[in-house]
Structure 1
Amino acid sequence: MSAVRGLEHVVTRLSDSCGQGHSGSLLEAPSADVLSCSMQAVVYYGVPGDITDVLPRIGEAGIAVWGPQDGEGRDMPHARGTVSYALTYHRDHGRYPDGSLMSTPVLEAAGMRVDWDRPGMPMPSRFEGFVHSCDPDGGHPVYERCSTAPKEPMSMAAARDQYGTVLTFSLGEPGSSAYQYFTVPRRQ
């Protein structure tokens, strides 16, 4: 994503952790895995220009196939999760021709997600706590690594003031092979 013109790096956070599954209790069954490891990276970018100039460049970068496509590799018409849907959303100010509200656009691919501020509707911010916290996702940590670059990032408010729009690129979304990349199943 850093090769996409029109994006300015704000902060990257990488977390990698392995945790023991719980062994159960009187009222709960034990977890299916003895050990589970997951990894996630989130990069925040500032968009100093118009997001509708950047979205096509993200599609052209070939990072992933964003949303459903037809047999010729074109975005399916009106399919949420595609670049064309996101552009339509912005062009039509989030409304269908009949005036009803469109669903909020995001770009989605296997294990990846791109989200951004919409005019008058900033992304829900996990930013401050997320960047400065490296808590594991439950269980008892056996291994944990968390890093943030830069070490002292600007605040989300400062990023919005400087760039106007903030965009996130997430790798290792829950349910992907990167998110839970290693497990040791419990013997039955």
Structure 2
Amino acid sequence: MSAEDVNPIWYLLLLPHSAFDAVRRRFPVPSDRALRARAVSPEAQAARARELARIDALVARLGGVPGVTHLLTRLSDRCFRTDHSYASGVRQWHMVGQITGAAYFATALDVPELLRRIRAAEVADWGSGLWDDPRLPERPGSIAEALAFHRDGGLRADGTRRPSPRIAVAGMTLDWDLPHSPLPDPGPLPGAVLYSWQRDDPDAVEKVRAARSGHGLVLRLTFHEHWNADLRYYYGVRKRRRRGR
């Protein structure tokens, strides 16, 4: 196993003092100040802009479905310090950027008609990029699975309950109010880490509640709800210092 196959932090703990200093010089740990500078570097800003454009395009496509009204979008863009390494040990990260949040929509349509219109509008390839089981009758996260839930009253052929209906692609999930179980009110956005930028709406709770009263159904499109390295928009690579420097 080479030095690059080992997380430098753990490697340092296993070495005598002289070797500790040598490895510390070869794998310098960047300061928070250095990482914050990288978070606003042109490279990071360009990656951030591409991810925001991708999210905004999806929101626009969903909001353009006949009978669907876009209410608001709330986003939190944050950069984290990390020490994860690729399985191959080729390189290691020391910062990852990820955008999380949700967009809210309203509709007076019933859910089956809503889902059919979303499918006709080709908003996204729902169900792609998710765990798939070929033994299941519908692909998890697909519109077909959500339609089956409503068609069969939430029950499978054997009488067991289906999971709550939602449609999803990798990193994004669309769910909606259910009878006697409306979506929760928008909560606070996560706070700052190394770097934070937010797109918020101080009237989010009131707008969602008013839309539910006026339209009947609220939809929520969630972006990257859980931390997942595969959903990053940017990562800084730990660079090994050359010998003699």
Q: TM-score, normalised by structure 1?
A: 0.72
Query: By percentage of residues, which structure has more helix?
Result: 2
Q: Deviations over 1:112-132 (max 9, x none)?
A: 211112222333x2x4323xx
- Please give the alpha-carbon distance, in whole angstroms, between the structure 2 residues aligned to 1:112 and 1:176: 14
AA partner of residue 54 (structure 1): L
Q: Deviations over 1:50-70 (max 9, x none)?
A: 1211111112222221126xx
The reply to whether residue 152 of structure 1 matches residue 203 of structure 2 is: yes
Task: Tell me how many residue pairs correspond in the alignment.
Answer: 163
Report the CA distance shift for 1:185/1:67 in structure 2 as closer, same or farther (over 3 A).
Answer: same
SS of 1:38's equivalent?
strand
- Please give the alpha-carbon distance, in whole angstroms, between the structure 1 residues aligned to 2:207 and 2:127: 31
CA positional deviation for 1:159: 3.4
Partner residue of 1:129 out of 175, 183, 187: 187
Partner residue of 1:12 out of 73, 78, 85: 73
Query: Which ranges in structure 1 are unaligned for 5 or more consecutive residues?
Result: 23-31, 69-75
Q: TM-score, normalised by structure 2?
A: 0.57
CA RMSD of aligned residues (A): 2.8
Q: Determine what percentage of the aligned residue pairs are the same residue.
A: 30
CA positional deviation for 1:41: 4.2
SS of 2:98's equivalent?
strand
Aligned 8 A contact 2:167 2:175 in 1 = yes
Provide the residue aligned with 1:60 in structure 2.
120
Provide the residue aligned with 1:96 in structure 2.
156
AA partner of residue 72 (structure 2): V
Q: Deviations over 1:10-38 (max 9, x none)?
A: 2211221223348xxxxxxxxx6422211
Query: Which ranges in structure 2 are unaligned for 5 or more consecutive residues?
Result: 1-61, 84-91, 129-135, 241-245
CA positional deviation for 1:148: 2.3
Structure showing greater Rg: 2
